[in-house]
Structure 1
Amino acid sequence: MKRAFILILVLCCSLLTACDNASIGIIGGADGPTAIIVGKETDKVKGKFGEQLEKKPVRMINVDGELYYDSGYVSKNTPRCGTLDGKLKRAVAGNEIPLKSGVANFDTEGYQHATGITKEVNIDGDWIIFKKYDTHGRKLDNLKYCYYIKGHLNNAVKDSEIIVLSENDRVTFNDIYDPLLSSTYPLENGIGNTHHNPILYDEWGIHLYAEDVTESGMTLKIEQFGGEYSGSLQTGEWFSIEPCTDGEWKPVPTNPLIDYAWLQIAYLIKSNDITELDIGWKWLYGELPPGQYRLKKEISDYTPDKKTDKKVYEVYFTVE
């Protein structure tokens, strides 16, 4: 089962008469109109469910039809070959999406291949890691602008950061999240179509994704990007599955007819890349009935002669 992309339709801001410090407008949502305040000399925009804190164009490149955005990370790959793997030329404005292969929205000569999800570009003497933008299989027709946007949702512990592709350069943090958090999606808007990737943070840079889910197994994708760890990240054979029943997560009963033990195997998790594992559970749980589940997977930060740190990560999935 492919990860679903998000198509967001939002209603635009209708700016009224400006005053000395701010402009006041209205944003329409499924739960009714919401007043917003746009600071005169700031990127802050208040909406119904949160507040935009920062908005700026994001550097992007297009390699073989795939988009990559400036992650802000500097590569530690040394030494390196001085030969570029591909050339790039600037052909669009700094806030526009480079929709054609070989095009960038900033001045650069080219790039070097790094991993399955990254390219590296020399900017002012530093090799900057560009991370692949996941379109989730969606065509980007009619989308023109690209931004890094930071905001804070009401009652959230941390700020949210997103890379946004938009049909309109006036898109805000609230245009992305207000429709998602409203009871129903707005049907028409003035901002137009948008697409976004959240910038996810974890101490070790780990995030799990479930794909090709069936009643008896899945492909588990372990993405590692950024983060701080001391040794090498590894995972083993162990996993656990829990269904959500009446709002509670409880372990799936194992097959009482088998006597089993988990093999002591370590799978290395690739750095700044995606590691794929085929997970089959029919032998342990049988075929799962339709429903909502989560899979738990232990990951270790292994360093020889030191205590191994361990964490349990979760991925949520549906059996249809």
Structure 2
Amino acid sequence: MKKLFLIVTAIYLALAGCSQKQKDSTEEPTKFEAINNLDGVTMIAKEGAVSATGLTVILENNSDKEITYGADFLLEKKIKGKWYQVPFAIGGNHAFTDIGYSLASFNVREVEIDWGWLYGSLDHGEYRIAKEIVDFRNAGGYDKYHLVAEFTVE
């Protein structure tokens, strides 16, 4: 009987530890200090193009600079007025294709993003997607910016 009690207690503690890790991972605060601070460049969620597993964003470059962005992105959820990173649904490592897409000055592009493979299906709530944008000045000289677009999953 004592062995059964110890086994049940060990299983309970292991499960409690797992649920604590899950809770902590959903409460990792945003890592962005500055967002949407590249003059003339914006990103918005396209109206009517949001689902629980993806969306279309509109990147608009109304600056005199050519910008570069990649396939990578990060999702965050608003909880009690603050932004927190959405935990990945997949275990282990993940990777994005390391590619640079350029967007010339005074151009607009729609970008379809599917996050089902990485985050799964999102619950109802307020979210934002973040993408890194690079402004290359010259060989070896560049600045990184982060654009975010807010959206709601209903």
TM-score by length of 2: 0.69
Determine whether 1:209 maps to 2:67.
Answer: no
Q: Determine if contact 1:299/1:312 at 8 Å carries over to the other structure.
A: yes
C-alpha displacement of 1:207: 1.0
Partner of 1:44 in structure 2?
none
C-alpha displacement of 1:259: 2.4
Deviations 1:63-93 (A, max 9, x none): xxxxxxxxxxxxxxxxxxxxxxxxxxxxxxx
Q: Determine if contact 1:204/1:228 at 8 Å carries over to the other structure.
A: no
Q: Determine if contact 1:203/1:228 at 8 Å carries over to the other structure.
A: no
Which of 91, 112, 125 is 1:257 aligned to? 91
Q: Percent same amino acid at aligned positions?
A: 32
Partner of 2:151 in structure 1?
317
Structure 2 unaligned segments of length 5 or more: list them.
1-35
Partner of 1:279 in structure 2?
113
Deviations 1:250-283 (A, max 9, x none): 1001024242122210011132121111111011
Q: CA RMSD in A?
A: 1.9
Q: Determine if contact 2:37/2:146 at 8 Å carries over to the other structure.
A: no
Whichever residue aligns with residue 78 of structure 2, its letter is C
Partner of 2:104 in structure 1?
270
Deviations 1:184-233 (A, max 9, x none): xxxxxxxxxxxxxxxxx9644111111200000001110111x354xx30
Deviations 1:4-33 (A, max 9, x none): xxxxxxxxxxxxxxxxxxxxxxxxxxxxxx
Q: Determine if contact 2:90/2:117 at 8 Å carries over to the other structure.
A: no
Within-5 A mapping of 1:137-216: 203-211=38-46, 212-216=49-53
Partner of 2:26 in structure 1?
none
1:253/1:224 Cα in 2 relative to 1: closer, same or farther (>3 Å)? same
Structure 1 unaligned segments of length 5 or more: list them.
1-200
Within-5 A mapping of 1:10-49: none
- Higher helix fraction (1 or 2): 2
Determine whether 1:291 maps to 2:125.
Answer: yes
- 2:50 alignment partner, SS class: coil
Moved over 3 A (4+): 201-204
Q: Determine if contact 1:291/1:319 at 8 Å carries over to the other structure.
A: yes
Partner of 1:171 in structure 2?
none
Partner of 1:92 in structure 2?
none
Partner of 2:78 in structure 1?
244
Which of 132, 135, 138 is 1:301 aligned to? 135
Q: State the distance in 2 between where 1:209 and 1:256 align.
A: 27
Q: State the distance in 1 between where 2:137 and 2:81 align.
A: 39
Q: Determine if contact 1:243/1:252 at 8 Å carries over to the other structure.
A: yes
C-alpha displacement of 1:248: 1.6
1:310/1:267 Cα in 2 relative to 1: closer, same or farther (>3 Å)? same
Deviations 1:45-70 (A, max 9, x none): xxxxxxxxxxxxxxxxxxxxxxxxxx
- 1:262 alignment partner, SS class: coil
Greater relative contact order structure (CA < 8 Å, 6+ sep): 2
